Amino acid sequence: MAERVEIVEVGPRDGLQNEARPIPTARKVALVDALSSVGFRRIEAASFVSPARVPQMADSAGVMAAIRRAPGVRYMALVPNLKGQEAARAARADQIAVVTAATDGFARANLNASVADSLARIEPILREAGRDGIPVRGYVSVVTDCPYDGPVPPSRVARVAAALRDLGCAEVSLGETLGRATPEQVEAMLRAVLDELPPDRLAGHFHDTAGRAVENVEVALGLGLRVFDASVAGLGGCPFAPGAAGNVATEALARRLSALGFDTGLDPVALAQAADLARAMREG
């Protein structure tokens, strides 16, 4: 039997957060509902962040309340602080994701905190989530290059990933936020992180600005990672990483993984339908 690789669909959060034009809640709900029949085990459907910082995500409670929850799918929400965690709990998120960065420059732009302060904010979130029995994913942003602090030493990424593990994150997703890393940079970064965490605790989160995200996934596959984030129709970018493109497109990644002999569990026809919906949202 083909080996399983999980694609975590992050388009409704990482994709839509970057759309400047307000998107009606009902259209976001329709996208999540379409994605729910594709075969994903996890969909990042929302984020509970400051609406002044990311206005597009301000209706996340409405999205979470209106989606049709498919059996076997966990709906994840990104939270930056306890206030976000309380909102995610009220919205019945099945999993939450916390976020920090490998550099102080990016952490300040994204979270208005240093890396150390963002980790201190994450600690009580993990404690509460533990009480709720909710698994927590930790994101590390800018794992190879930072738009503010420049090239990022792999040892620093390893340190931050280990800190998230020590706080209790079940999984650490390594964010190549700018989408410009070469496979060589990704390999060096991963080798350092793998000294701290085993591959089954890691996910790869590659943006695709330079068109090398699929190659970077292949490097990570070679080093044993089996979970990758992707965004339907390649939606998105990060509001705090100017010029960065969306995540690797789910369709392209699923096709490549199938060609390599992996089983993603995704239905290509249902995925193509969801991608049509996502493209229509981007086009207005």
**146 assigned to active site:** no
Binder among 4, 83, 191, 279 for ligand HMG (CB under 6 A): 83
* Closer by beta carbon to ligand HMG, 207 or else 254: 207
Closest residue by Cα to residue 253 from 270, 234, 235, 236: 234
Span interacting with Mg ion, options 10-18, 121-129, 178-186, 195-203, rule CB under 5 A: 10-18
E strand or H helix that includes residue 275: helix 268-283
The rounded Cα 134 to chain-centroid distance in angstroms is: 17
Residue 155 touches which member of Mg ion, ligand HMG, none, C-beta under 5-8 Å by kind: none
Q: According to the binding rule CB under 6 A, does residue 46 interact with ligand HMG?
A: no
Q: Which of residues 230-249 bind ligand HMG (CB under 6 A)?
A: 238, 240
CB of 133 to Mg ion, least distance (A): 26
Do residues 124 and 98 touch, judged by C-beta distance below 8 A?
no
Q: How far apart are CA 237 and CA 205, in angstroms?
A: 12
Span interacting with ligand HMG, options 1-9, 46-54, 187-195, 252-260, rule CB under 6 A: 46-54
Q: According to the binding rule CB under 6 A, does residue 156 interact with ligand HMG?
A: no
Q: According to the binding rule CB under 6 A, does residue 216 interact with ligand HMG?
A: no
- Binding characters for ligand HMG, 57-76, by CB under 6 A (x = yes): --------------------
Cβ-closest residue to ligand HMG?
A: 175
Q: How many other C-beta atoms can be found within 10 angstroms of the C-beta atom of residue 128?
A: 16
Q: According to the binding rule CB under 6 A, does residue 54 interact with ligand HMG?
A: yes
Question: What is each CA distance from 123 to 148, 158, 259, in whole angstroms?
Answer: 26, 18, 41
CB of 269 to ligand HMG, least distance (A): 28
Span interacting with Mg ion, options 13-21, 27-35, 105-113, 248-256, rule CB under 5 A: 13-21
CB of 177 to ligand HMG, least distance (A): 3
Query: DSSP string of 193-222?
Result: HHTTS-GGGEEEEEB-TTS-HHHHHHHHHH
Query: DSSP string of 162-176?
Result: HHHHHHT-SEEEEEE
Q: Of the residues 142, 172, 238, 245, which is catalytic?
A: 238
Closest residue by Cα to residue 235 from 272, 270, 173, 282: 282
DSSP type of residue 55: G
Q: According to the binding rule CB under 5 A, does residue 9 interact with Mg ion?
A: no
Catalytic machinery residues: 238
